[in-house]
């Protein structure tokens, strides 16, 4: 695996807008880091509202001097949520220069085709090649095997307005201001991936390490790295360690995204994760999506100065 440092330019500011997540609260208050969407416009509370679902999608904009670049990271679960919230938030998609998929699961790819229909012109789509592998399955304790919907099909995308960019290794976007990690090295002892996950390859069933799991990295000038994860199936600590390795920068300023600590199997490693996060010591910590209530509650206790509760429509400004 090629993990040589990439030439990641410093940026002056990073803006991250949550287009979809598992949680929405229209009454939640903002801070100096996060701006929440307005409850009303012109004094009238609208009859419609932002939607939440078990999915994740973020719009990421980086600023360097007069230069500005925007990419879309993941596209949620349903075909409804992300397009609806884009309209509710009044976001135009003309500025999107690329789309990055964290991995091939349906809760990160669901509205991809709907979003592509909203984007004029041809747009690069960055994805790990294993994201197309399947069918994929998840085994339950009672012996049942659930089949993941295969929402990502290479042949279908070849007929869309995309330039398909498949890579297992790091990819630079946005004039070298955003790095896609590619496949994440797994070095911690406690992060073991999704249990009972299998896939079918060439007619044979094998374990699924979800090798396509990848994240984004930005180098915030004078502050350190901003690490943006999808589900962190490789482990959120592994993801941060690998992000620092490929960027050649040790200091981490922000960790934001899904940490996948929900459910009995992953709840066992919440405290191990907290221990390692304390060593990393991020200034901003925003667990989303698949992190799970128990883990989010523990992060709020252990990181009172850096923890921020996410909600759909939230805009994080890091500078």
Within 13 Å of residue 31, how many CA atoms lie on the same side as its CB? 14
Return the CATH number of the domain spanning residue range 10-318.
Answer: 3.60.15.10
Evaluate if residue 315 carries a pLDDT over 80: yes
Phi, psi for residue 126 in degrees, rounded to 5: -95, 125
For 271-305, write each residue's pLDDT tens digit. Answer: 999 999 999 999 999 999 999 999 999 999 999 99
Token digits of residue 313: 């429509």
pLDDT for 83 equals: 97
Residue range 148-171: mean pLDDT, rounded: 93
Residue range 181-188: mean pLDDT, rounded: 98
Do residues 308 and 275 touch, judged by C-beta distance below 8 A?
no
Query: What is the rounded distance in angstroms from the CA atom of residue 255 to the CA atom of residue 215?
Result: 11
Evaluate if residue 1 carries a pLDDT over 80: no
| Confidence grade of residue 39 (pLDDT, cut at 50, 70, 90) | confident
Do residues 61 and 15 touch, judged by C-beta distance below 8 A?
yes
Do residues 65 and 120 touch, judged by C-beta distance below 8 A?
no
Query: What is the rounded distance in angstroms from the CA atom of residue 106 to the CA atom of residue 9?
Result: 32
pTM value?
A: 0.96
pLDDT for 2 equals: 56
For 117-129, write each residue's pLDDT tens digit. Answer: 999 889 999 999 9
């Amino acid at each position: 695996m090629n993990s040589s440092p990439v030439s990641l330019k410093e940026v002056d500011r990073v803006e991250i807008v949550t287009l979809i997540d598992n949680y929405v609260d229209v009454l939640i208050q903002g801070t100096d880091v996060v701006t929440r969407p307005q409850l009303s416009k012109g004094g009238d509370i609208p009859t419609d509202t932002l939607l939440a679902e078990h999915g994740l999608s973020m719009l990421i904009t980086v600023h360097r001097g007069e230069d500005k670049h925007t990419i879309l990271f993941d596209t949620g679960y349903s075909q409804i949520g992300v397009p609806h919230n884009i309209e509710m938030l009044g976001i135009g998609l003309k500025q999107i220069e690329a789309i990055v998929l964290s991995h091939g699961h349906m809760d990160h790819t669901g509205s991809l085709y709907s979003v592509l229909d909203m984007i004029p012109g041809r747009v690069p789509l960055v994805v790990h090649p294993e994201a197309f592998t399947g069918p994929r399955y998840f085994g339950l304790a009672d012996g049942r095997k659930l089949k993941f919907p295969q929402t990502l099909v290479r042949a279908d995308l070849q007929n869309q307005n995309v330039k398909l960019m498949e890579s297992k290794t790091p990819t630079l976007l946005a004039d070298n201001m955003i790095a896609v990690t590619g496949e994440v090295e797994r070095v911690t002892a406690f992060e073991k991936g999704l249990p009972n996950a299998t896939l079918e390859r060439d007619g044979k069933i094998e374990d699924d390490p979800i090798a396509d799991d990848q994240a984004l990295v930005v180098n915030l000038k004078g502050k350190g790295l901003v690490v943006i994860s999808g589900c962190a199936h490789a482990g959120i600590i592994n993801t941060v360690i690998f992000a620092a390795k490929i960027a050649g920068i040790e200091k981490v300023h922000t960790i934001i995204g899904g940490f996948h600590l929900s459910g009995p199997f992953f709840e066992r490693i919440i405290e191990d994760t907290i221990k390692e996060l304390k060593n990393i010591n991020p200034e901003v910590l925003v667990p989303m999506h698949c992190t799970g209530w128990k883990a989010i509650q523990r992060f709020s206790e252990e990181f009172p100065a850096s923890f921020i509760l996410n909600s759909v429509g939230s805009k994080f400004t890091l500078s």
